[in-house]
Structure 1
């Protein structure tokens, strides 16, 4: 993947190449698809996803601009909302002819998966959201975790120096200070994302508001909420649970926004329980 200074060009490429799709496990089994959060790649799921290979067709992918994706396919207009990413997800599922999909989405991928499931509900059997948020900004009667000034400062810092921003943010996002290697891995992953994509995707993510779509989710949904998460405080998990009919909320003992790295065994256990 290119991380150089040149801006992405929106070139048309094969869907599976575009998103760096990897497929493993039992090809005849029901699929489980893992989506990564902002600024990270499918490698963040490496401690969880392979555990399902004996009983599921395991699919991982990268959002355009991250990981093994083809950054030349980045189209700023398409990705000016999360709907562009949801369209990519649906194209991946169609390309692989996947049905009865269990979609496991971390952070913003949880909302991307929700949009895709609303668009084609018959293609999904379960949604599992890890550290999701429908809106990051506080609003009247709603706790998102951030004031607009906080988000503006975050975005401004990202515009100044992407790599420095990643190294400064990673410890606060990861928590678990006694395991500094986790924050180091996160910082490296975020720094590898194409700079122009990282800046634009951050703005799209942190200024998004998906609350109005929650009532349209009909796919059975499990919400996995970390006990101490800077990005998605407990109030956000409770809000999602209240507004997604039939959903289940589980508060994990894990701290930080990346429980699939800091406590992969617990995340795996909760996924298995929901299957």
Structure 2
């Protein structure tokens, strides 16, 4: 299978290490355009669409393979094999941060570092964990998706985006949600919001930068703190932002935090 077509893989820039950007639920690789281009002078930059999203090959959507996040992680490792050079740093938004973790677990030692934007290892609260949602909340969300996906998208996408001073971003996310095949979107939503990756992040030693918005409905600050405490070599940076997509609404703040973290891979005297 041609991975470039399957995942609409695009490669930019040149450098001694590779940054691979993975988008979140309802999104596609275009959501990285504010951020990814800032790194092409010093890195090989790879962007792609998860199968079922964007301009990926919808015909490649395998309902069994993608019935868990592990299938997407297998795809990512295949993309790394074919398109990466040098050390590999994974940049994942939302659910893709956990896909990145699973790719790391599948091939220990291959990933040099992680940058997680708005990550959450589990969305459901339990006795000793705060994920931001009750089990009833998640069931209600998934029922709403099943009943009226386009209506849910129109109502929820602007809320998820946040960025009250930039309504065009909420409109863009709404359009992205609405372009996704509804049945695939429903399937991916169920996989995303019912996954529990706490065991996968526990003790992960790969250097990790966690970028968490100060006000995020989907991934509250307490989740970022949980991740920082669960991973052995992680740093939490709070980005002053309302919403779940700081890479779109405040890309400069994200880039500044990433610059500092990425210095070992782009040269100490490098400047963006």
1:265 partner SS? helix
Say whether the 8 Å CA contact 1:131–1:224 is kept in structure 2. yes
Aligned to 1:32: 19
Q: 2:8 — aligned with what?
A: 20
CA contact (8 A) 2:26 2:185 kept: yes
How far apart in 2 are the matches of 1:194 and 1:262? 26
Moved more, 160-169 or 180-189: 160-169
In structure 1, the residue matched to 2:267 is: none
Instruction: Output the CA distance in 1 between the equivalents of 2:73 and 2:117.
Output: 17
Are the counterparts in 2 of residues 117 and 217 from structure 1 also a CA contact under 8 Å?
no
TM-score by length of 2: 0.94
2:31 corresponds, among 27, 30, 44, to: 44
**Does the CA contact (< 8 Å) of 1:98 and 1:123 recur in 2?**
no
- Distance in 1 between the 2:203 and 2:179 partners? 35
- Spell out the pairing of 1:115-194 with structure 2 (5 A cutoff): 115-194=102-181
Shift of residue 96 of structure 1? 1.8
CA RMSD of aligned residues (A): 1.1
8 A contact 2:18–2:84 mirrored in 1: no
Q: Does 1:226 align with 2:213?
A: yes
1:97 positional shift: 4.7
Question: Are the structure 2 counterparts of residues 187 and 224 from structure 1 closer, same or farther at C-alpha, using a change threshold of 3 Å?
Answer: same
Measured in 1, the distance between the counterparts of 2:29 and 2:8 equals: 9
Unpaired runs of 5+ in structure 1? Answer: 1-12
Contact 1:99–1:124 (CA<8 Å) still a contact in 2? Answer: no
Runs of 4+ in 1 over 3 A off after TM superposition: none
Q: Which residue of 2 aligns with 1:105?
A: 92
The answer as to whether partners of 1:118 and 1:218 remain within 8 angstroms in 2 is no
